[in-house]
């Protein structure tokens, strides 16, 4: 069978790479893909991005199903378009994708269904927003309502920062429509984890736990990014916590969406904040897999992923059991010069090691032209190492990175440090 993956990042490379391992799969098209998907014989990039044109392509090529990586096409309704044409696709409809595409929708939904999350209010009026901040004090968190490609959240440590964020979003329209409304919420402290499940509308299948590092610099310092590295499993997600998150957050969300007539299908990603007592709260929902969490998760997944997605589309996820490599997978992102502000493009990349049983490099911001691999900005590569412990997985990943170079390459040296410092790894 032939499949289609929509997107161009490291997440999509990892999804396509995993799907292509199935003996049933002849070819995985990636739209538009990147330099890494271009180099793999089992994958084929296609330069189509318009959802209707993609649906035409899927019909013509008799593609068995489509898997969507990023949130933008989901929020724009690619699933609605494909389904209306009778084409198989895994992801949420435009309506269900509001769990990610509108923070106000997500917060109001969580409130209605008593799902644990930070206390909040939503504003479009500047003066009212400023008054709320003064009443609540700092630290406080300001979030643009709409999709803002990772730039929509300001964790303000001071009142000044908070007021400035409100002005940036509501008065100066720096984020356009996405910032026309803001959610202002209580600051939560603790440790974050990514809890990702597959949902077929009714049944829920949890993927392996993971954690990412959102800040640019070692020790979780510097600006927020899309994610500088991730690992799976996340030892903080003990079996007890897993059960609690399913019971208090994931299942009420899936049931609540169903009750409200907006069945959720697709990957559901709850970003969690776990406090010192081990209580989880929902920071946000994403209606897709995480990037870079997908890279270590796919590196650990055993068996035929194409069959799992097929069952998810058929609504029979209750019959599926996933099997995981017991090792830890740890992915380190190599980013372009000046990422995240104004990443440079066009640097020549060399030295990517060939894939082995314990190390694989997924591409994101790369392009292949005349046999040469160059950077196209942002997060460029994610190097994943697999080993029996977090520390050994770090050694494997960082050893592979030693061979890779491009001008301006920047990466964190401490991916996985929280997990490595825990006494008993499990989950
Ligand atoms: P979000 O896109 O909503 O996940 O926010 C991006 C990042 O901002 C999160 O991964 C957290 O690190 C941080 N963040 C978001 N909401 C809060 C909050 N209520 N308290 C503390 N940090 C937060
Ligand atoms: N790694 C965080 C995200 O994908 O949103």
Q: Whose C-alpha lies nearest to ligand 1, atom 16?
A: 283
Task: Supply the pLDDT for residue 426.
Answer: 43
Do residues 17 and 88 both lie within one domain?
Answer: yes
Ligand nearest the Cα of residue 215 is 1
Residue segments in the chain with a per-residue pLDDT below the cut of 70: 423-427
Which residues are paired to 197 by β-bridges?
206, 268
| Domain presence at residue 220 | no
| Domain presence at residue 147 | yes
CA separation for the pair 239, 242 (Å, rounded): 5
CA separation for the pair 115, 150 (Å, rounded): 23
| Domain presence at residue 73 | yes
In ligand 1, which atom is closest to the CA atom of 118?
A: 19
Do residues 168 and 86 both lie within one domain?
Answer: no
Ligand 1 centroid to 283 CA: how many Å? Answer: 6
Pocket of ligand 2 (CB under 6 A): 212, 227, 286, 290-291, 293
CA separation for the pair 352, 358 (Å, rounded): 14
Record the pTM: 0.96
Residues 6+ apart with CB under 8 A from 110: 116, 117, 253, 282
| Domain presence at residue 35 | yes
Ligand 2 centroid to 307 CA: how many Å? Answer: 25
Ligand 2 centroid to 48 CA: how many Å? Answer: 24
CA separation for the pair 199, 321 (Å, rounded): 14
Cβ of 118 below 6 Å from ligand 1: yes
Ligand nearest the Cα of residue 138 is 1
- Choosing from 180, 203, 221, the residue where a domain stops is 180
- Choosing from 151, 180, 209, the residue where a domain stops is 180
Do residues 88 and 129 both lie within one domain?
Answer: no
Ligand nearest the Cα of residue 152 is 1
| Domain presence at residue 294 | no
Q: Say if CB 333 and CB 227 are below 8 A apart.
A: yes
Written in H, E and C, the secondary structure of the chain is CEEEEEECCHHHHHHHHHHCCCCCCCEEEEEECCHHHHHCCCEEECCCCCHHHHHHHHHHHCCCEEEECCHHHHHCCHHHHHHHCCCCEECCCCCCCHHHHCHHHHHHHHHHCCCCECCEEEECCHHHHHHHHHHHCCCEEEEECCCCCCCCEEEECCHHHHHHHHHHHHHCCCCHHHHCCEEEEECCCCEEEEEEEEEECCCEEECCCEEECCEEECCCEEEECCCCEEEECCCCCCHHHHHHHHHHHHHHHHHHHHHCCCCCEEEEEEEEEECCCCCEEEEEEECCCCCCCHHHHHHHEECCHHHHHHHHHHCCHHHCCCEECCCEEEEEEEECCCCCCCCCCCCECECCCCCECCEEEEECCEEEECCEEEECCCEEEEEEEEECCHHHHHHHHHHHHCCCECCCCECCCCCCHHHHHCCCCCC
Task: Supply the pLDDT for residue 360.
Answer: 98
CATH of the domain at 71: 3.40.50.20
Ligand 2 centroid to 323 CA: how many Å? Answer: 23
Instruction: Among 282, 293, 294, say which to mutate for ligand 2: greatest number of ligand atoms within 8 Å of CB.
Output: 293
- Choosing from 69, 92, 115, the residue where a domain stops is 92
Do residues 131 and 88 both lie within one domain?
Answer: no
Do residues 70 and 138 both lie within one domain?
Answer: no
Q: In this structure, which long-range contacts are made by residues 277-280, counting pairs with CB atoms below 8 Å and at least 24 apart in sequence?
A: 278/240, 278/241, 279/116, 280/116, 280/193, 280/241, 280/244, 280/245, 280/248, 280/249
In ligand 2, which atom is closest to the CA atom of 290?
A: 4
351 CB neighbour count, 10 Å cutoff: 11
Task: Supply the pLDDT for residue 176.
Answer: 81
Burial class (CB in 10 A: 0-12, 13-18, 19+), 414: middle
Ligand 1 centroid to 323 CA: how many Å? Answer: 31
CATH of the domain at 130: 3.30.1490.20
In ligand 2, which atom is closest to the CA atom of 292?
A: 1
Cβ of 141 below 6 Å from ligand 1: yes
| Domain presence at residue 354 | no
Do residues 88 and 132 both lie within one domain?
Answer: no
Q: Whose C-alpha lies nearest to ligand 2, atom 3?
A: 290
| Domain presence at residue 148 | yes
Number of folded domains in the chain? Answer: 2
| Domain presence at residue 143 | yes
CA separation for the pair 298, 309 (Å, rounded): 13
Q: What range defines the domain where residue 58 resides?
A: 2-92
Which residues are paired to 146 by β-bridges?
none
């Amino acid at each position: 069978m032939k499949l289609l993956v929509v997107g161009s990042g490291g997440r999509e490379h990892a999804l396509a790479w995993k799907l292509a391992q199935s003996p049933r799969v002849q070819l995985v098209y990636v739209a538009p893909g990147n330099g890494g998907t271009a180099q793999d014989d089992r994958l084929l990039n296609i330069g189509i991005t318009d959802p209707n044109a993609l649906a035409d392509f899927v019909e013509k090529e008799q593609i068995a199903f489509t898997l969507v990586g990023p949130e933008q096409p989901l929020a724009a309704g690619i699933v609605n378009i494909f389904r209306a044409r009778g084409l198989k696709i895994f992801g949420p409809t435009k309506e269900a994708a509001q769990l990610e595409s509108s923070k106000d929708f997500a917060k109001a939904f969580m409130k209605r269904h008593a799902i644990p999350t930070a206390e909040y209010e939503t504003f479009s009026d500047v003066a009212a927003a400023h008054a709320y901040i003064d009443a609540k004090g700092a630290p406080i968190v300001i979030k643009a309502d709409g999709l803002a490609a990772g730039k929509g959240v300001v964790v303000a440590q001071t009142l000044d920062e908070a007021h400035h964020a409100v002005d940036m979003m509501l008065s100066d329209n720096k984020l356009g429509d996405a910032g026309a409304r803001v959610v202002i919420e209580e600051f939560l402290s603790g440790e974050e984890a990514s809890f990702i499940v597959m949902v077929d509308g009714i049944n829920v299948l949890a993927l392996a736990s993971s954690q990412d590092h959102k800040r640019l610099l070692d020790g979780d310092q510097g600006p927020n990014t899309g994610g500088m590295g991730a690992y799976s499993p996340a030892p903080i997600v003990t079996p007890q916590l897993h059960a609690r998150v399913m019971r208090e957050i994931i299942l009420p969300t899936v049931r609540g969406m169903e009750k409200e007539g907006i069945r959720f299908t697709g990957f559901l990603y709850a970003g969690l904040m776990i406090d010192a007592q081990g209580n989880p709260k929902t920071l946000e929902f994403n209606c897709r897999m995480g990037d870079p969490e997908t890279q270590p998760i796919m590196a650990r997944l055993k068996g035929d992923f194409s069959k799992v997605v097929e069952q998810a589309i058929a609504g029979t996820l209750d019959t599926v059991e996933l099997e995981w490599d017991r090792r830890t997978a740890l992915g380190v992102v190599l980013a372009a010069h000046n990422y995240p502000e104004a990443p440079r493009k066009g640097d020549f990349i060399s030295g990517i090691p060939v894939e082995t049983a314990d190390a694989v490099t997924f591409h994101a911001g790369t392009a292949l032209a005349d046999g040469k691999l160059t950077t196209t900005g942002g997060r460029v590569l994610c190097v994943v190492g697999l080993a029996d412990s977090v520390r050994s997985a770090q050694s494997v990943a960082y050893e592979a990175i030693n061979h890779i170079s491009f001008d301006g390459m920047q990466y964190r040296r401490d991916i996985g440090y929280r997990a490595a410092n825990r006494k008993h790894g499990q989950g």
